Amino acid sequence: MAPAALRARADRACAHTACVAQNDLRADVAGAVDRPAHIPARAVSRADAAHAAPLAAVPADAQLSRYAVTALIEEAQLTPKPALVDRRGSGAHRDLDLATMLRSAHALEPTFAALARAARRRGEPSALLRTELAQIGRAGEHDMLRATGGSNAHRGAIWIVGLLVAGASMPGGGTQRHAAHVCGRAARIACFPDRFAAPSNSHGERARQRYQVGGARREAQDGFPHVVEIGLPALVAARARGIAEDAARLDALLAIMVSLDDTCLLHRAGLPGLHAGQRGARRVLAAGGSSTHAGAAALAALEHDLLSLNASPGGAADLLAATLFLDMLARHDAGGSPVTWNI
């Protein structure tokens, strides 16, 4: 399961019930924009600390949407990923291939633009914004399903990347290059409930309840720790060692897999699938990463193990897409130049 530090953060995360109801009532009756009392203290404090950083121009809604779509496309095209759709084939998925993933990503561009517009217009996280974003996201799911012929290519990414698009689009307050700032604002949105959502019976939700893990919702409410504290640092460190970009991104994916309680793995193969993914990813990194001969062999073994279980780390893939989105945002702020992340 997750390491102690991540479990401790989850224990401090959103306490759903009375605090949520009180904030919702104030937002609806008084029109107030309140910070939920149950927002993780770490996410808020790190985001607030970023306000002292130099102000950077917020990208336009269409630009944010293009970054989000590009992140989904580049994640899908990254090869070789363990048991995931990539240029070689469908991995453990019978209803998805690369062409389907790309159609889904392109179909979501209007959704991401609408999420950005809504967040920019509201200006601050609130219950009303959370409700509006949820409605846009559900419409985006329908667009995705139409584009894929009914296959779920990016439901998790609509939530994960969509929240980051919303967090990045809000005007004012600190440099967009500060990952904790963007993720902190997204976390504040995620801590409000989706009051009009039907009870979820998704694969991820069933796995979350059965195995008592946080899932995508907790990841967002905690401020995206697997992006800010794992994915981005791993990507930056690999680049600093001179590793080729695809290998650096693969190593970031593997670093995320090591500690993520991936509900995609849990749904498909239970705890054996989760443990196989975590142990296998750890072996690849211990062997020097995917760019080394030993690491490549360990990566092939990891894929073999996951395919034998019909399991794939789809949750980690969504978080890699989130990592790539924030990386593109940093490059935008730097005028397209390579940047050193202020993580």
In this predicted model, what pLDDT tens digit does every residue of 29-64 receive, in sequence order? 333 333 333 334 444 334 333 433 444 567 899 999
Q: How far apart are CA 303 and CA 313, in angstroms?
A: 10
Any idea where the domains of the chain sit in the sequence? 40-48+55-198+212-333
In the structure encoding, which two tokens stand for residue 309, read together? 């279980």
Three-state SS for 113? helix
pLDDT at 3 over 70: no
Do 219 and 160 form a contact (C-beta atoms < 8 A)? yes
Given pLDDT bands bounded at 50, 70 and 90, which one contains residue 202? confident
pLDDT digits (tens, 9 = 90+) for 176-186: 447 889 999 99
Please give the pLDDT value at position 14. 62
Q: How far apart are CA 147 and CA 153, in angstroms?
A: 10
Please give the pLDDT value at position 285. 99
296: left (phi over 0), alpha (psi -120 to 50) or beta: alpha
In the structure encoding, which two tokens stand for residue 102, read together? 């790309």
Q: How far apart are CA 16 and CA 27, in angstroms?
A: 16
**Average pLDDT along the chain:** 84
* Residues contacting residue 37 through CB under 8 Å, at least 6 positions apart: 19, 22, 23
Q: Where are the alpha helices (DSSP H) in the chain?
A: 4-12, 18-30, 41-49, 61-77, 98-107, 109-122, 127-148, 155-169, 179-190, 203-211, 215-221, 225, 232-240, 245-259, 263-286, 293-308, 314-333
Please give the pLDDT value at position 180. 86
Please give the pLDDT value at position 99. 98
When mean pLDDT is compared across 75-84, 311-320, 328-337, the lowest value belongs to: 328-337
Q: Within 13 A of 181's CA, how many CA atoms are on the CB side?
A: 25
> How many other CB atoms are found less than 10 A from the CB of residue 29?
8
Q: Report which listed range, 23-32, 120-129, 170-179, is most confident.
A: 120-129
The CA distances from residue 171 to 8, 104, 327, in Å, are 32, 29, 19
- Segment 88-112 shows an average pLDDT of 97
pLDDT at 13 over 70: no
pLDDT at 331 over 60: yes
Please give the pLDDT value at position 214. 84
Q: CA angle at residue 259 from 99 to 204, to 5 degrees?
A: 50
